[in-house]
Amino acid sequence: MLTPAELAALRQEYSQRGLRRSELEPDPIAQFNVWLAEAQARQIIEPNAMTLATVDADGQPWTRTVLLKICDARGFTFFTNYDGAKGRHLAGNARAALTFWWGAIERQVNVTGTVVQTSRAESAAYFHTRPAGSQLGAWASAQSEVVAGRAQLEAQFAAAQEKYGDAEIPLPPQWGGYRLVPQTIEFWQGRRSRLHDRLRYTRQPEGAWKIERLAP
């Protein structure tokens, strides 16, 4: 176990590189895709893993990790169970935020925006690319509900396996995608002495992006 002093002393000096305004892509999704490809090239595990923040009906924020599966001009798309906790939060308040942390390249990306559900056709297209076990898991698990024990989950999985056998597994009605349509995207590059680089794109009413440097 770390002592309190050891924990307090944990710190990393960032020194790999800086981020200049002049090197940014004019479009933040293009810039994000450059950074994602670099994270992938550096063999970061699941570089598409992102922390998703949602807010419940009492104003309590919650976070969890989800995987980015589509990133294009429309926004950042992940797939999940609409009936789970995050689904309930997003039904009541469509505003959400995402964070990517790529420690090996000393970078963070923060995104805020509003989510919309993907079309059923888009959800189905992605669902059918998942391994059969993951497809069955989507039928077997009432995400975020309390379960009596692991045996209950395994029995529900076995029941789904029995039901569908080798047939095509249909898209569950409660399963699909959310696309976060970005309002702001901030790129953070760690620098020496905590003088990190932070450049934030903000969507303007007419659709253009304003870029500003923020103090670290």
Token match 């391994």: residue? 131
Residue in 28, 84, 172, 182 binding ligand FMN, rule: CB under 6 A:
84
The CA distance from 156 to 148, in Å, is 12
Please tell me whether residue 86 binds ligand FMN under the rule CB under 6 A: yes
Q: What is the enclosing helix (H) or strand (E) of 188?
A: strand 175-189
Rounded to whole angstroms, how far apart are CA atoms 145 and 142?
Answer: 6
For ligand FMN, which residue of 93, 144, 183, 184 counts as binding (CB under 6 A)? Answer: 144
Stretch that binds ligand FMN, among 12-20, 27-35, 81-89, 91-99 (CB under 6 A): 81-89
Burial 134-155 (b: 16+ CB within 10 A, else e): ebbbbbbbebeeeeeeeeeeee
Known catalytic residue at 194: yes
Q: Which of 64, 74, 95, 198 binds ligand FMN (CB under 6 A)?
A: 64
Residues pairing with 216 in the sheet: none
Shortest approach of ligand FMN to residue 89 CB, angstroms?
8
78 touches ligand FMN (CB under 6 A):
yes
Question: Which of 13, 23, 46, 72 contacts ligand FMN by CB under 6 A?
Answer: 46
Question: 169 near 202, Cβ under 8 Å?
Answer: no
Residues classed as catalytic: 194
Applying CB under 6 A, which residues contact ligand FMN?
46, 49, 62, 64-67, 78-81, 84-86, 143-144
